[in-house]
Amino acid sequence: MNPELYERYLAKKAKKLGISVEELKAQGTTPLVSSTTSAVETSSVASTDAILQEQNISSEKPTTLNNYSSSAQTVTSNYMQSNIASLNAQQPQYIQRTIQEQIDAQNSVVQETSYVQPQESDRYAPYSNMQPETVKTDVPSFIFGPSRIEEEKKEPVQSYNNSLNVNTSAVTSEEIQDTRENRFALIGYPLGHSLSAVIHSAGFKSLGIDATYEILETPPDDLVYRLKFLKRHNYKGFNVTIPLKLPISLFVNEVDKYADLARAVNTVSIEKDRTLKAYNTDVIGFRRAIPKDVIIRGKKVAVLGTGGAAHAACVALVECGVDEIAFFTRNIPNSIDLMNYVRRKFPSVTFNVYQIENIRNLSEYAMLVNTTPIGMLGKAGDMMPVERYALETLDKNAVVYDVIYNPKKTVLIKEAEKLGLRFITGLDMFIYQAVAAQEIWFGKTPDFKDMKIAALENL
């Protein structure tokens, strides 16, 4: 290359290092003259030559310091861009996707061992024997993980409790004596509207069992202390309502499959050794409340809301064999977790989510289910979750199902009744939940009619 330019390069490098040109040459490590010049440095020199040639720089016309500085900056810039491009080529390329595209991509790799719908004959059984793989999935069930209670391979029985088998193979040689009284309770906050004590007391009476049922308001911060209280005072079981259905799962020893699928607990049995076994009877209550002549297998159902009640309703509807479930919500981003979960868990069912304000036509749905609090006594009790004109679009054979039980007929149910539509109130669902809870605690089924009469007298 041009000797003059080379000398200038050495002078600039020596000045930068704070030494003389002679000392720099004596070191013998200058990148342009070393016999061990690296590939990158050689590339830099070649790039310098090319740029200088393009700018017509030669030994016949000396270059000023400013021109040389500008050329060196250009060389450095090109060198950095070249190396950055090389590094980018080696990095994995990420494709930006929408949330829906991501969900669809995940659904394309769903394992074959997914939920298997029960037969129609099992629809009203106290406890449907779901396949074990319903709790064996690559997506862990929220926080308390898979159930550790395994189904017993025996003939089906009519008691909810007996269909849930607890492993008793490791029984201690000394049997624990149970001297506790039949004390039960409801925990949650607030509980001023609860009818649980009335309903359960009627159930106890129908079974001829001397038992008590208490309402124990329990804010979330007091949950640990409440559990200690229940154990210390020899309670045999308790029910759980909002906002404790999820936190309680952190403190139980075992969960049944419905609690695992619905990712919530509403009934707990305190065993003789004070271990806690948790269940979800919301699913059973929802399913049992549907009359036997209401057939929704292979049909579409619209669910208003995407909260905990919607989750339990979804599991029950899948058991009933529906073909598609459409969720309507005010906050679609908050429903992504639920949508992702149910699509993985129940790949045979189609799930969609829509903005609830955009409801215009419900004619394609065989059932409309309200799981929102709109219409509940004290919470927008004079309102409906959908407009009346949308309700009018339902088929004449469609069913309106409101999970709210207080008041006994919400505005939604009253409007459905005016339109001549068949309806299901939340009271039936609520009582069936209590029936299932007593099946767990006693292994016997209380009288549903007696419990409903008691509830209606106090509404």
Distance CA 175, CA 187 (A): 30
Using alpha carbons, select from 356, 348, 275 the residue that is nearest to residue 317: 348
Distance CA 398, CA 7 (A): 93
Matching residue, tokens 């779901």: 130
- What number of other Cβ atoms are within 10 A of residue 92's Cβ? 4
Q: Is 56 left (phi over 0), alpha (psi -120 to 50) or beta?
A: left
Cis peptide before 333 (omega within 30 of 0): no
Q: Give the pairing of strands 267-270 and 276-279.
A: antiparallel
SS3 276: strand
Matching residue, tokens 């309903």: 199
The sign of the CA dihedral 320, 391, 308, 157 is negative
Contacts of 414 (CB under 8 A, 6+ apart): none
Distance CA 271, CA 120 (A): 34
| Distance in Å from the first CA to the final CA of the chain | 100
* Cβ atoms of 408 and 427 closer than 8 Å: yes
Using alpha carbons, select from 402, 240, 262 the residue that is nearest to residue 338: 262
SS3 140: coil
Distance CA 163, CA 385 (A): 37
Which residues belong to the active site? 245
* Cβ atoms of 410 and 369 closer than 8 Å: no
Tokens of 225: 């202390």
DSSP code per residue over 384-399: -SS-HHHHTTS-TT-E
